[in-house]
């Protein structure tokens, strides 16, 4: 719990001179696999809600002023998610539906997926994953994190302990 409070304090201090920046995260996105090894996106919201999720490829340029990320897939959910939810990349489910087409994934590429709201009131922190990450997962485990802070945890812990550490 202190970890989240310390990170939040640092974020407030670091952005004290900025106004109106970003959409506040109220939850976390992770990725797990089903019994056939196919990816499932999991979301645990601790505050607020999300209406959708997007998967994209990050702009490969180092710190561009205006990033040009490449959209790979977009899902919307009804009703909005205010707790735990999961869906398949290919078909959605549990109120999630794929909007448009899902781009084919390259096994050597790292993808990012995050949750959002239509009115930009809340978001769910993104997860980055590649096929090699999915191969490390077993049924009942979740890949969470971004950049250098990635780890695997049990789906039970993701569902029950994520919000214990949330502010």
Task: Spell out the alpha helix ranges (H) of 95-153.
Answer: 131-135
| Mean of all residue pLDDT scores within the chain | 84
Tokens 């998610």 identify what position? 81
pLDDT at 21: 58
| CB contact burial 106-144 (16+ within 10 A = b; e otherwise) | eeeeebbbbbbbeeeebbbebbbbeeebbeebeeebbbb
For residue 68, tell me if it sits in a domain.
yes
pLDDT at 147: 62
For residue 2, tell me if it sits in a domain.
no
Token couple for 63: 């710190």
For residue 65, tell me if it sits in a domain.
yes
Beta strand 70-81 pairing with 50-57: antiparallel
Flag whether pLDDT at 2 surpasses 60.
Answer: no
For residue 5, tell me if it sits in a domain.
no
Flag whether pLDDT at 7 surpasses 60.
Answer: no
Flag whether pLDDT at 37 surpasses 70.
Answer: yes
Q: For residue range 92-110, what is the model confidence (pLDDT) as tens digits?
A: 899 999 999 999 999 999 9
For residue 126, tell me if it sits in a domain.
yes
Taking residues 48-65, what's their average pLDDT? Answer: 85
Range of the domain at 43: 21-164
pLDDT at 16: 31
For residue 4, tell me if it sits in a domain.
no
Name 4's Cβ contacts closer than 8 Å, sequence gap at least 6.
Answer: 165, 166, 167
Reported as a pLDDT band with limits 50, 70 and 90, residue 145 is confident
Main-chain dihedrals φ then ψ at residue 83, nearest 5 degrees: -155, -125
Taking residues 51-68, what's their average pLDDT? Answer: 81
Longest dimension (CA), the chain: 49
pLDDT at 64: 67
Percent of the chain past pLDDT 90, that is, above it, reads 66
Pair 86, 75: CB distance under 8 Å: no
> Between residues 118 and 12, which one has the greater pLDDT?
118
Number of domains in the chain: 1
For residue 13, tell me if it sits in a domain.
no
For residue 75, tell me if it sits in a domain.
yes
| pTM exceeds 0.85 | no
């Amino acid at each position: 719990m202190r970890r989240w409070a310390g990170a939040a304090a640092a974020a407030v201090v670091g952005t004290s001179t900025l106004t109106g920046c970003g959409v506040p995260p109220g939850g976390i996105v992770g990725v797990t696999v089903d019994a056939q090894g196919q990816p499932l996106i999991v979301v645990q919201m601790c505050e607020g809600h999300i209406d959708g999720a997007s998967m994209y490829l990050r702009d490969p340029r180092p710190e561009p002023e205006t990033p040009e990320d490449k959209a790979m897939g977009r899902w919307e959910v009804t009703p909005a998610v205010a707790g735990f939810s999961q869906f398949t990349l290919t078909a959605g489910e549990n109120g999630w539906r794929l909007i448009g087409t899902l781009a084919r994934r390259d096994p050597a590429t790292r993808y990012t997926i995050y949750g959002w709201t239509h009115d930009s009131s809340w978001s769910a922190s993104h997860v980055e994953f590649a096929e090699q990450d999915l191969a490390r997962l077993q049924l009942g485990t979740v890949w969470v994190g971004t950049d250098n802070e990635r780890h695997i945890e049990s789906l039970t812990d993701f569902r029950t302990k994520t919000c214990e550490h949330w502010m």
